């Protein structure tokens, strides 16, 4: 599928650190005749990205799961991603490794996999989180067939660094089952919107602003 490679090669280069937010269902359906099954299509998609960034590059897929916020256990090995087919497929691949935060985790491949896995951020959007890693290392974010509203989580990292007054740090506590199967009650935080003030999140208008500024 040279079309996919040619498309991504316009903005993905060797050595890039790339976070992919996606809704891949339409892609799989449109090009279904090129693959024996959907898993083959997903593998091709991921392998295209690997070839473009190369051994010096790093790929992240979001594997977010918000059950921890409801007091439900997070199982590092078994809690699924709640943000799509591609991220769950990545979790099943031996060469991907999941980061540790129970709410905002990522499946990671490439040069900085170990460094990202070793992060132990308490806050979802702290400077010591994978979002902070993307900021400090000039990472790229690609939205593949999703709008900003459904995917541009990075905006909350920016909000936390600016300490906006319409969000605040909230602590969540629930059972955490680690990679070795050990379970303990742990606490993690998220910079949440102040619902008592009626705060709503509207991210799509950012698209025009970022385009006008030449950022995207």
Residue 2 predicted with pLDDT over 90: no
| Cα–Cα distance for residue pair 76/47, rounded to 1 Å | 25
Average pLDDT, the chain: 96
| Cα–Cα distance for residue pair 62/88, rounded to 1 Å | 9
| Cα–Cα distance for residue pair 60/18, rounded to 1 Å | 6
Model confidence pLDDT, tens digit, residues 6-49: 989 999 999 999 999 999 999 899 888 889 999 999 999 999 99
Neighbours of 173 (CB within 10 A): 12
Chain position carrying tokens 């990075």: 154
Which whole number is the average pLDDT over 122-140? 98
Q: Quick check: helix, strand or coil at residue 75?
A: strand
Q: Compute and round to an integer the Cα radius of gyration of the chain.
A: 18
- Residue 31's pLDDT is 87
Residue 199 predicted with pLDDT over 90: yes
Take residue 114 and report the two structure tokens written for it. 């170990």
| Cα–Cα distance for residue pair 212/216, rounded to 1 Å | 9
């Amino acid at each position: 599928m040279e079309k996919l490679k040619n498309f991504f090669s316009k903005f993905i280069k060797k050595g890039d650190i790339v976070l992919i937010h996606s809704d891949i269902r339409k892609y799989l359906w449109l090009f279904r005749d090129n693959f024996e099954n959907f898993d083959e299509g997903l593998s091709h998609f991921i392998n295209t990205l690997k070839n473009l960034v190369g051994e010096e590059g790093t790929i992240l897929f979001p594997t977010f799961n918000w059950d921890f916020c409801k007091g439900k256990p997070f199982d590092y090995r078994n809690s699924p991603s709640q943000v799509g087919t591609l991220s769950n497929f990545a979790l099943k691949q031996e060469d991907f490794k999941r980061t540790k935060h129970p709410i905002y985790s990522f499946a990671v491949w490439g040069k900085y996999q170990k460094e990202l896995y070793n992060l132990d951020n308490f806050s979802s959007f702290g400077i010591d989180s994978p979002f902070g890693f993307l900021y400090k290392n000039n990472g790229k974010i690609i939205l593949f067939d999703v709008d900003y509203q459904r995917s541009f989580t990075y905006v909350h990292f920016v909000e936390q660094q600016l300490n906006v007054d319409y969000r605040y740090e909230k602590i969540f506590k629930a059972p955490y089952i680690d990679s070795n199967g050990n379970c303990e009650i742990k606490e993690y935080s998220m910079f949440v919107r102040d619902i008592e003030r009626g705060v709503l999140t509207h991210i799509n208008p950012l698209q025009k602003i970022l385009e006008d500024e030449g950022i995207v």
